[in-house]
Amino acid sequence: MRDPQFRQQQVDGLRAPHIAPVNVLVDELIDPSGRGWVPYVAPVYGGVEARLLNIHRDTGPKTHSQHGGSGFLCPENDDASAERFATLLDNAGIPVSETLSRNAYPWYINRKPRAAELKAGVEPLRRLLGLLPRLRVVMLHGRDALAGWRRLERRHHDLVRRLEVVPTYHTSNQAFIGPPEVRAARMAALREAFARTARTLQDPATATAPGAAKGMPASAWTGPPPSSN
């Protein structure tokens, strides 16, 4: 978001047809007297045309204009997590315009969500899924994203059973704390998760047949636990 021309394009496109329904939902979630502020979703994303939804933990400071951020969820935000995320997408050959990002707890807290907060995030996520008729894959970045999704899955199984679910690590610096071999293993796992997602999106069956990309439920995940962030 350091490029002022790019940032202005995101501001100007805030109500573009593909992203307007998503940002109308953001408007409805913003509550100054309650849970608080929610960032808009940058129109560089695919909006209602997205086939891949990336769910992260919570809204970080680089999204918040009052904390020196952009005011948007955007892969071009000026932080290490967004940079890794954008690089992984690019290396996997997944266009940003095919994707959408969301947080398990959409309101700004800049910390690990509590259990009650993850529960509160279920209904906004359910509403978002209702806006995404082309959605085929959901990537869950970290333990909290996985925990939030499991809550949704238990309450709205019919809504999510058609989706391929890919649990993986978060792309933040916190996910890469540890010895070199741990950091390398986590990056390798992230690359494989993005590659798997790309293969699913490239499958003609998942591109044309609603419900064709049926993956394992998040509750069946038996791999190593993703990082908490």
Q: What average pLDDT does range 169-181 have in this prediction?
A: 93
Enumerate residues 6+ apart whose C-beta is below 8 A from 35.
29, 107, 120
Pick from 133-142, 179-188, 215-224: least confident: 215-224
Per-residue pLDDT of 74-90, as tens digits, reads 999 988 899 999 999 99
Enumerate residues 6+ apart whose C-beta is below 8 A from 219.
150, 153, 154
Max mean pLDDT among 31-40, 63-72, 177-186 falls in 177-186
CATH code for the domain defined by 4-217: 3.40.470.10
- The average confidence (pLDDT) of the chain is 88
Tokens 């998503």 belong to residue: 22
Residue 32, class by beta-carbon neighbours within 10 Å (0-12 exposed, 13-18 middle, 19+ buried)? exposed
Rounded Cα distance between 212 and 84, Å, is 30
Whole-number pLDDT of residue 216: 45
Q: Domain map of the chain by residue range?
A: 4-217
Whole-number pLDDT of residue 101: 97
Q: What average pLDDT does range 141-145 have in this prediction?
A: 97
Q: Please check the confidence at residue 166 and state whether its pLDDT lies above 50.
A: yes
CB 144 within 8 A of CB 104: yes
Whole-number pLDDT of residue 33: 58
Whole-number pLDDT of residue 165: 97
What predicted TM-score, i.e. pTM, was given to this entire model? Answer: 0.89
Whole-number pLDDT of residue 60: 76
